[in-house]
A = this chain, B = another copy of it.
């Protein structure tokens, strides 16, 4: 039986959601079963195993939060931070800014290390802040800043944090599946992702992982996590053998994530990174050729998310609407300080193909004829 409303499909080339493969949509529509059904528990466990592989970690506490990537961000901070804790955050875009806001709401004393939008936060500035605040509970950065298209270097920060009691928290919402994340190798303690970016799964779950160091912090908190829903101590009792009821997991979304992660494994994680890198580079070259400016600092550009300033000072809004209405292609506008200036073009998940790039460029050439 079919649903009563029509959806006109779009080619999703914005900052997420990315195009969802029919196999994943099919998984989504499998019959709903219970959250304590042995069949579902097996799926949830397999999802955790597969997430460990895309995160590059052996962390036991790796699972999916029952909310979107923003809920995972909140879960990341709320579980390791207590009121009054000092937290260092690198801010070079909207999502770094959000980490500051989230931290302050939970009573943290936030030290924001700001850099210009479109640039990285220089690791040495973060390391300097760490030396100035040796008691900091957390140092947080955004790996793939979706608001600007910047790829933040992590390695030096991970090395610096390792010799301290500070936990390294990394927002990998837009990087997981599209870029190496390597939680264990880099020494990340808390890392979270989105499903609707390079994994190509609809939005609705927030993959997350906590290192043993982070878990020690969580199990020895002085006051309980401000959120019952996101409390990892309670979630652990559901995820582990005792299977104690905590909340009703979004069953069908887990089917979809299970399938999306299976597809990443079939392709191979490194092949997926490679595919994202190749098409992203091809797109960026083609855009420059057409007079677009690239907003992100050279040498630190994400392949999967390109911030492109329109040629000839054109206003982005009307062209973005025309792209959607005439060509059925969605791209994103700018956020915060980048509003009105640029498009954010995502080539993520099933959208990261050479065909997609060609279809997009044809539409661009129709809307902005080349001289």
Known contacts: A33-B9, A74-B228. The answer to whether A247 contacts B68 by CB under 8 A is yes
User: Which residues from B are CB-within-8-Å of A204?
Assistant: 66, 204, 250-253
Q: Does A340 contact B (CB under 8 A)?
A: no
* Residue from B31, B71, B196, B256 within 8 A of A9 (CB atoms): B31
User: Which residues from B are CB-within-8-Å of A259?
Assistant: 3-5
Q: Does A194 contact B (CB under 8 A)?
A: yes
Q: Does A258 contact B (CB under 8 A)?
A: yes
Q: Does A25 contact B (CB under 8 A)?
A: yes
Tell me the nearest residue of chain B to A196, going by C-beta. B248
B229 touches A37 (CB 8 A): no
A229 touches B71 (CB 8 A): yes
Tell me the smallest distance from the CB of A79 to a CB of chain B, in Å. 12
B258 touches A69 (CB 8 A): no
A3 to B204, CA, bound (A): 19
Q: Does A277 contact B (CB under 8 A)?
A: no
Residue numbers of A with Cβ under 8 A of B are 1-5, 7-10, 12, 14, 16-17, 19-35, 37, 39, 43, 66-71, 73-74, 98, 101-102, 105-106, 194, 196, 202-204, 224-229, 245-253, 255-256, 258-259, 262, 324, 330, 335
User: Which residues from B are CB-within-8-Å of A262?
Assistant: 4-5
Copies in the complex: 2
Known contacts: A4-B259, A224-B105, A229-B74. The answer to whether A330 contacts B33 by CB under 8 A is yes
Tell me the nearest residue of chain B to A325, going by C-beta. B38
Offer 25 A-B interface pairs, CB within 8 angstroms, sorted by A. A1-B23, A3-B26, A3-B30, A3-B259, A5-B27, A5-B258, A7-B33, A7-B39, A9-B31, A10-B33, A32-B196, A35-B203, A66-B67, A67-B229, A68-B247, A69-B247, A106-B226, A194-B248, A202-B252, A203-B248, A204-B252, A245-B335, A250-B250, A252-B256, A253-B253
Could you list 9 further interchain pairs (A-B, Cβ under 8 angstroms) beyond the known A25-B29, A32-B196? A4-B259, A9-B31, A19-B32, A34-B330, A37-B330, A66-B67, A69-B248, A250-B253, A252-B256
Q: Which of A26, A74, A229 has the most CB of B within 10 A?
A: A229
B2 touches A26 (CB 8 A): yes
User: Which residues from B are CB-within-8-Å of A20?
Assistant: 31-32
A-B pairs with lowest CB-CB distance, top 10? A204-B250, A3-B27, A29-B29, A70-B247, A9-B31, A25-B29, A203-B248, A20-B32, A67-B67, A1-B23
Tell me the smallest distance from the CB of A182 to a CB of chain B, in Å. 25
A255 to B25, CA, bound (A): 12
User: Which residues from B are CB-within-8-Å of A12?
Assistant: 32-34
User: Which residues from B are CB-within-8-Å of A256?
Assistant: 252
* Residue from B26, B28, B43, B66 within 8 A of A68 (CB atoms): B66
Tell me the smallest distance from the CB of A247 to a CB of chain B, in Å. 4
Tell me the smallest distance from the CB of A368 to a CB of chain B, in Å. 22
Tell me the smallest distance from the CB of A345 to a CB of chain B, in Å. 13
Known contacts: A202-B250, A250-B253, A252-B202. The answer to whether A34 contacts B7 by CB under 8 A is no
A96 to B112, CA, bound (A): 39
